[in-house]
Chains A and B, each alone.
Chain A
Amino acid sequence: MSVLSLIIQREFISKVRNKSFIIMTFLSPLIFVAVALLITYLSTLRTEVKTIAIHDETGWFYNQFEPDETYRYVDVSAVPKSVLLDSVQSKIYDGILFIPKMENVKDYEKSVEYISEDSPNSGFISHLERTLSQKFTAINRVQNHIDTLALSKSVVDVNLNLHKASGEETIKGLNEIKVFIGGAFGYLIMMFIIIYGNMVMRSVIEEKTNRIIEVIVSSVKPKQLMLGKIIGTTLAGILQFLIWSVLGVVLLTGISYFFGINPLETQASTLNSMSIEGDYNIQLYVKEILSLPLFSLFFYFLIYFIGGYFLYSSLYAAIGAAVDNETDTQQFMFPVIMPLMLGVYIGFFTVIHEPHGTVATVFSMIPFTSPIVMLMRIPFGVPFYQILLSILILITTFMGIVWFASKIYRIGILMYGKKPTWKELIKWMKY
């Protein structure tokens, strides 16, 4: 058996047998499902109903406020204002809407008061403001003899029809879906890099603190050891991901049946209850998603996943080699995590607005962000030469970084008791 496969095997087995790995693998889906259930449960809980008193001296607003799940309205126009203030303080009412009697309708713009002890929800306030404004406007129009009917008839409401140049119909919100699909892949890559890159780093540090490293490198090349570690850890990671997916599906299905909710049915009934126009939109969405290059998207995902993961995990391995213990890794972690974060943010904020803009294009070329940004761009249709260029840059950088990392690794694993700086790492290159 070749030395590399021996190392991969050992790394894989030692990871998979590790107690915390086993616990993480089987506990995480449980925790995930439990949290999901908890959120569902909490959202079904009724929120506390608030009682709002309305002191209306105009008499125009009787029954104008519709009660809903959260707010209930009580007419207290007969009660004097001073008494009402006490009742708010003693929490009988959550708030009072105080509408005084004014000479001119226009004066109501500044004279209506809302009094409450806690700071009111801004959504609720704008709801109140909207209702008041509508009513006062209507009254104002009547008083000034404006034809309300003619006014509302004269309104023109434009709704853009979206087409592609090919004449196909398209729909709003599709960009969001595309970014979501690409983003999910990009996010997955980021999570994988952070979780398993750290694992590679810890395993390097472990060999250093165990002091077995010199025994090993007297038998194998440090580069082989590093690659073996990365590949072994990756395989363990993929296994963990597979177990998570299978367990997740099984658990979710099991729980749905247990509680008598069928997620598919729920969805179907929601769809049925939608209007015909909605139905048509759903069909369009499905059509658009199916017309996305799903196969090539998945293919590129694999390429960027492998390229990006190896790029970063060699950096993690180098960091592990450079330090003596995990607490010393902090200073090196930031420059590694930052481009990952940058990639995700650029993806979500820039690609969605301008998938082929300069910023998005540049960052989909830079190898430290390309695995994330390019994957988000691909659903929007990226010219093949750009993808090719980006992959070439990624692979070239990847090889450079592996070379760089294995140099640091080779020197670092035999250095004890030093807390190196970036400057020193560069100096190691000359050894």
Chain B
Amino acid sequence: MSYILEVRNVVKHYADKTALNNVSLAIPKGSIFGLLGPNGAGKTSLIRIINQITYPDSGEVLLDGEPLQPKHVQHIGYMPEERGLYKTMKVGEQALYLAQLKGLSKQEAKRQLDYWFQKLEITSWWDKKIHELSKGMAQKIQFVVTVLHKPKLLIFDEPFSGFDPVNANLIKDEILELKEKGSTIIFSTHRMESVEEMCDHIALIHKSNKLIDGKLIDVKRQFRTNQYQIGVKTNQADALIQKLRDYQFFPTFAEFKSLDEDLKLNVNIPDQDINRLFQLVFPYGQITHFVENIPSINDIFIQTVSHK
């Protein structure tokens, strides 16, 4: 697998604290990578190093196999958490300016802008100033100036804060489309559930250290609990529970949504012997619900941190 970005043993200290403690990451080309962790974990420090805003004390970062150099800024699109635009500058002018700073020629920048403004149906905003636009509208412009120069690597720090649900979905779709076209995307967020469904790779950062990284599915398999939810329509609930206890399925009451008034249980099936469970349950009634309890990233995070 080839990597668009490799972070090797990066260490970053500020005067009295460590922001990154020997962090290594590899981000595969074409993936959506979730950089997850609570506030203050070191995510933004890492992203600023990738963007060459600050530099690591030691360690190195490779973009597309090459050590980071000033020219690489044009291959990266970055939407920071602390984001904004010039309030008194016209939308079109500042988009052109920001695109040119990323190395686009004026003509090319204009062409890309026309494309995006039409796509997002915001052409009429060209001559408006940012302070005349709503926050959501400004965020759309912010998104456009981030992706305008067709970067290989897109980095979004807390991407969906400030977007209303409609715009958030719109931006999600655009990001997925960019991925289809070959861009690699990094999401950095402390609200892990917000990007979980989109990411195929994740890394968890906590207190300057990387705890876990890998393919999302592998991480989840690693933290599999072998716990399942089962719903049974039965009038012999007590007898069924007793039976499950006898056979070491450790039933506990569960909470999930269903339209029937059934018995809702969590059960442990350590050796994957699902059929044996079903055979036990069948005589007592009808099975209406059966699903594996997949740990959320949040669960995994809490579990990992508490084990440390």
Interface residues of A (CB under 8 A from B): 1, 3, 6-7, 10, 14, 18, 207, 210-222, 410, 414, 416, 427-428, 430-431
Contact = CB atoms under 8 A, between A and B. Distances in A.
Contacts of B53: 214, 217-218, 222, 414
B117 to A, nearest CB: 18
B288 to A, nearest CB: 51
A135 B88 CA distance: 76
28 contacts: A210-B85, A211-B80, A211-B84, A212-B84, A212-B85, A213-B82, A214-B82, A214-B83, A215-B79, A215-B80, A215-B83, A215-B98, A215-B145, A216-B98, A216-B101, A218-B51, A218-B73, A218-B76, A218-B80, A220-B101, A221-B70, A410-B54, A414-B48, A414-B53, A414-B82, A430-B15, A431-B15, A431-B54
B274 interface: no
B245 interface: no
Contacts of A212: 83-86
B187 interface: no
Given A218-B76, A414-B48, A414-B53, A6 B97 contact: yes
Contacts of B209: none
Contacts of A221: 70
Give the one of A1, A213, A219, A410 with max B CB within 10 A: A219
Nearest to A214: B80
B102 interface: yes
Contacts of A431: 14-15, 54
Contacts of B83: 211-212, 214-215
Give the one of A7, A211, A427, A430 with max B CB within 10 A: A211
B87 interface: yes
A214 B52 CA distance: 11
A219 B102 contact: yes
A6 B109 CA distance: 14
Nearest to A430: B15
Contacts of B52: 218
B112 to A, nearest CB: 15
Nearest to B101: A219
B101 A3 contact: yes
A216 B78 CA distance: 10
B100 interface: yes
Contacts of B142: 215
Interface of B: 14-15, 48, 51-54, 70, 73, 76, 78-80, 82-89, 97-98, 100-102, 142, 145
B248 to A, nearest CB: 55
A207 B94 CA distance: 13
A20 to B, nearest CB: 11
Nearest to B142: A215
A205 to B, nearest CB: 13
A343 B211 CA distance: 59
Top 9 nearest A-B pairs by Cβ distance?
A211-B84, A214-B80, A219-B101, A218-B51, A218-B78, A210-B84, A211-B82, A212-B84, A427-B15
A7 B88 CA distance: 16
Given A6-B101, A427-B15, A430-B15, 9 more contacts: A10-B97, A210-B84, A212-B85, A213-B82, A215-B80, A218-B52, A218-B73, A410-B54, A428-B15
A211 B85 CA distance: 7
Contacts of B78: 214-215, 218
A10 B82 CA distance: 22
Given A215-B80, A218-B51, A221-B70, A210 B87 contact: yes
A113 to B, nearest CB: 70
Nearest to B78: A218
A427 B14 CA distance: 10
Give the one of A7, A212, A216, A220 with max B CB within 10 A: A212
A182 to B, nearest CB: 40
A145 to B, nearest CB: 89
